[in-house]
Structure 1
Amino acid sequence: MSSERQVNERMLALLLRVVAVLVILALIAVLLSWYRHYRQQTEEVTFRVLSTTFASQVTRLHEVWLIRGEPSSIYRTAGDIYFSSSGWPTHVSRTQEISPQKGCRELWEQLLGQPSKIGDAEVGVVSAGGGCQFILRGGLSISYRFDNGQVSFHRPVEMES
């Protein structure tokens, strides 16, 4: 009988360990899910703030362009800021010649004072039809138009809540 009792106690101990491991794994899964959700929300809020900051910097440079008599560029230590014919910043460079995509990336970095990253996420930069588009994972994007200075924040429909 004692042998049977020992076997039962061992089985019960093993079962308790298995249940404990499963509970811990379930908690880890829930915590990871929460982490992903809140990380996405944090990235979206950060991207929205950067959109607003970018828009205010673009407007500030447009004002400087008007005050200085509508020059084609304005000198800054990091490079000249070049403007469209309507006075909106188009790129930052030491020379007038630059690839549109690189110009958009440098514009982001100069106006926001940071690399084109949010946390561990790289911001994709595309020069798109008279402007720039900055794209974050998950489909969040900021569009900027050279002709009128419009800065728009976009989020995919499936993210709407």
Structure 2
Amino acid sequence: MQSQQKADNDLLHIYGRMISVGLVLVIMAVVGAKYFLTLPQIAARGLEVEHTRLLNVLVMVRSQWLSLGKPQQMQLNWEVLDNISIKPETSVVSMNDLGWPQPKSFTAQGCQDLWWQLMGAELDNTDLVADYSAQDNSCSYLSSNGDSLGYQLDSGSVTFLAAP
């Protein structure tokens, strides 16, 4: 009789553990689903963050331009992280008469190079495509989700447009 009670007791413990494991798995599934559903929203904010970074860099560069006596070109230094170490990178950026950085060439490639010079990162790494508009003399940076960032080369204004 005691062996039957012991077997019933062991069976109840096993059922209890199975229910506990099942509850943990359900909770993990709910948390995981919420996490993976919010990933696209987090990724979509990438260009919004880059907008703030670009604004800060432009203000810093223009401030240095003023403090250095308004030179035609400025040297920008970045520490770039490659797979193994951090290495210093230097680039020279041309400035217009009002103190705003200008691309080397007024083309899409020039805008792409300007992004690297200002932000210290390749466009390939940020999933952006550069474009130059001669009509309003601006560089546009388009994200794969439809957001865009525009940099007015004459006035230094930066606009962020979110996809609808």
TM-score, normalised to structure 1's length?
0.64
Runs of 4+ in 1 over 6 A off after TM superposition: none
Matched ranges for 1:9-28 at <5 A = none
Check if 1:38 corresponds to 2:38. Answer: yes
Corresponding position of 1:50: 50
Distance in 2 separating the partners of 1:62 and 1:108:
16
Q: Distance in 2 between matches of 1:117 and 1:55?
A: 20
Shift of 1:111: 1.9
Superposed CA RMSD in Å reads: 2.5
Query: Given residue 87 of structure 1, which amino acid in structure 2 is its aligned partner?
Result: G
Q: Is the 8 A contact 1:74 1:82 kept in 2?
A: yes
Q: Distance in 1 between matches of 2:129 and 2:111?
A: 10
Map of 2:13 onto structure 1: none
SS at match of 2:145: helix
For residues 137 and 149 of structure 1, what CA distance do their matches in structure 2 show? 24
Verify the 8 A CA contact 1:90 1:131 in the aligned structure 2.
no
- Matches of 1:84 and 1:100 in 2, distance apart? 16
Q: Deviations over 1:57-106 (max 9, x none)?
A: 01111111111111111134532111122110112xxxx5x352222112
SS in 1 for 2:55: helix
Gaps of 5+ in 2: 1-28, 77-88
- Report if the CA contact (8 A) 1:75-1:81 is conserved: yes
Match for residue 127 of structure 2 among 116, 119, 122: 122
Where does 1:96-107 land on structure 2 (aligned, <5 Å)?
Answer: 98-107=105-114
Give the total of aligned pairs: 120
Structure 1 residue 40, shift from structure 2 partner: 2.7
Query: For the residues of structure 1 that align with 2:75 and 2:119, how far apart are their CA atoms?
Result: 17
Aligned sequence identity (%): 21
| 2:102 corresponds to | 90
Secondary structure at the aligned position of 2:70 is classed as coil
Distance 2:107 2:61 in 1: 19
- What SS does the aligned partner of 2:113 have? helix
Question: Larger strand proportion, structure 1 or 2?
Answer: 2
